[in-house]
Chains A and B, each alone.
Chain A
Amino acid sequence: MKLVGRVPVEPLDDERMTNIERRIVANAAVAPAPRAPRRVLGFAAAAMAAMAAGVIGWKLGTSPVQTSTVAEAPISIATTATGGTLNIGDATIESDPSTQFVVTRPDGGVLVDLKQGRVELEVAKRTNRPALVVRAGDTDVIVVGTHFSVDWDGSGEVDVRVTEGTVKIVRHKKESLVAAGEAWEPKRGTIKLADAKPVARRTGGGPAVASVTAGESGAGATIGEVSTGSGSAGYEIEIGDGPDVLRGRTAQVPDARTPRTGAGGSNAARTEPRETTPKAGSGSDAGAGDGPINIVALIKQHAVESPVDVGESVSASAVSRYQEMIRNSKTGDEESRAYYGIAYLQAMKMGRTEDALRTISTYERRFAQGRVYPERASIAWLKLRILCSRRLDGECKQVAAAYQRIAGDTAAGRLAERVTLGD
């Protein structure tokens, strides 16, 4: 069998090769630079954005925010199953499943028009730059470098809570300033956060929640990266002028620290009870307003799920039983339960946190792929508890972010979110 040279290579015609070369040269130019953003122009995505521009149009005519009619192509996002992330350079917008929003750049600012669902924004400091506005119905929340959350059910009331910095709220041409430690409700206006009614997240078509975090990042390129929840691969969209353009402009929206007065009405209030952390010891959401020390206290107070009982009261004996379970296990379920049992005992009963972390690491490697076992959340919380009880450092925040993705909008998930935000 001598096949060398006997399978002829069909050459690619010049046009195909030229096209490949053109794409490679265009895309490879920035590739070697470390941390350089990939500049990939997704034609399909661009077409989608252009289509969105046509379909959705520019709806800022009656906006309470000063806007321009010169619009760059709006980006319309509608996530389905698993949510996604849109990086627009000066802000990163993470969206939950079943979320719809449109991003536009009026006068170099950013307008996130939330239709429904939940978005989280990480926003660069906007000093000397036009505002970033999250619009929930008839309410505009204007970012001036802060950390706050907005809940909106798509048709009812908006609830804004501020834990850092200041936001300006514009509704029916009436402006309100809300500072850290304060909340805002349509009926009551600006109130102390502690006096705010707890609000609950609805299940199924629940309220829209937009949380915005001020940060130092976002001075990057203008390439937006989108990963949709439909299971398709991520794609990238060029969305027009970015931070470089934004930086040189004068803010079109007055700074929140110099409030204007204006006429306007108010809406009927309707807030719903929010799920709270049982042991947080405060009426607000997951102890909002507590400092780092209290976050650690809250983490420690939060219940750790007990492992499956193996009928051994002595920890060392129980660990042996769990090890036996792993050796004899015929299913991943048993193994998963046993690993968690060992990690739990090492961390909670035996004071051997390093050993517990090693066990957790083994668990993570063992179950890195395939089915997600019920112990995954418990073991992730255990890891968070161990690491964040020691220090609220980068590793802790990384683990908290991972846990938050698993736990979602639960009390522990929100606590983890606070850790990641560095409250």
Chain B
Amino acid sequence: MAAAYVEDVLLVDRCLTGEPAATRELFRRHRNRVHACLFRVLGSNRDMDDLLQEAFLQVFQSLRGWRAEASLATWVDRVSVRVAYRYLSQRGRRIQTDELPEDDMVAGPDVGPGSRRQLARDGVRRLYAVLDELSPAARLAFTLHEIDGRSLAETAALVGSTVTATKLRVWRARKRIEAQAAQDPVLAEFLEPGTGISGEIIPFDKEAP
């Protein structure tokens, strides 16, 4: 931990001198995590190039502001979340989530060739369709906590809010999704496998190649 901290400090120092190699190294260290975080918030790679670039440019432009109180990763995440928030605010609530993961990237048991994948894919699509209706703050709180797996405290710190407010946003978002799931068996199955349309898997299987 201490070694990582020292490494961060040294790397930042090198970046501040304008050393391109250090800039590259910092980007490479954090790019996958930042990308994953942004992807889980947005649900697609649409505009991801611009967002990643914007996030890291912000990181470098405000690098002098990193006081080494938090880990560099946390600080980079905070900057990235701010970029995501701005993007969501500017784009409005409805983000097109038509760019979905490839079939073979979808998680879940590979049972019933094609069917589970397709179901998961549809589930993700419908989940993000509901998230599109949420406010940027609620979407961020929900996705960071429920999908990216961060604790409430960490999520609150990232979005610059209190734990209570964050908890409330997550709860409301969850209620909204559950309400939608009550009318949407595909979403319900995605959220709680086995409780939604599991009995309807067969037709999907039949369609599968």
Contact = CB atoms under 8 A, between A and B. Distances in A.
Contacts, number: 101
Given A23-B53, A32-B16, A7 B177 contact: no
A24 B45 contact: no
Interface in B75-113: 99-102, 105-108
Interface centre among A9, A29, A30, A33 (most CB of B within 10 A): A9
Contacts of A32: 15-16, 18, 60-61, 63-64
B16 to A, nearest CB: 5
Contact of A1 (B20, B102, B178): B178
B18 A29 contact: yes
Nearest to B107: A8
Contacts of B174: 1
Contacts of B127: 3, 7
B167 interface: no
Contacts of B129: none
Contact of A6 (B27, B43, B61, B107): B107
A20 B56 CA distance: 10
Given A1-B192, A20-B49, A29 B20 contact: yes
Interface string A1-42: 101111111111000110111011101111111100000000
Contact of A29 (B23, B49, B106, B147): B23
B147 A7 contact: yes
B56 A4 contact: no
A32 B26 CA distance: 14
Interface residues of A, number: 27
Contacts of A3: 127, 146-147, 191
B204 interface: no
A21 B29 CA distance: 12
B3 to A, nearest CB: 24
Contact of B18 (A12, A20, A30): A30
B160 interface: no
Contacts of A23: 53
Contacts of B39: 9-10
A1 B187 CA distance: 11
B192 A10 contact: no
Contact of A12 (B28, B48, B192): B48
A245 to B, nearest CB: 22
B52 interface: yes
A31 B146 contact: no
A28 B192 contact: no
Contact of B27 (A1, A12, A19, A21): A21
A61 B39 CA distance: 57
Contact of A28 (B44, B60, B191): B60
Contacts of B146: 1, 3-4
Contacts of B182: none
Given A20-B53, A24-B53, A31-B60, A5 B107 contact: yes
Contact of B35 (A12, A30, A33): A12
Contacts of B100: 10
B191 A24 contact: no
Contacts of A6: 107-108, 120, 147, 190
A143 B47 CA distance: 46
Contacts of B18: 29-30, 32-33
B66 to A, nearest CB: 11
A12 B45 CA distance: 8
List of 3 A-B pairs having minimum Cβ-Cβ separation, nearest first? A28-B60, A4-B149, A31-B61
17 contacts: A1-B177, A1-B178, A6-B107, A7-B43, A7-B124, A10-B105, A12-B35, A12-B49, A16-B48, A19-B49, A21-B24, A25-B27, A28-B15, A28-B23, A28-B57, A29-B18, A34-B64
Interface of B: 15-16, 18, 20, 23-24, 27-28, 31, 35-36, 39-40, 43-45, 48-49, 52-53, 56-57, 60-61, 63-64, 99-102, 105-108, 120, 124, 127, 146-149, 174, 177-178, 190-192
Interface of A: 1, 3-12, 16-17, 19-21, 23-25, 27-34
Given A7-B107, A11-B35, A32-B60, 8 more contacts: A1-B178, A8-B107, A9-B36, A20-B49, A20-B52, A24-B57, A31-B61, A32-B15
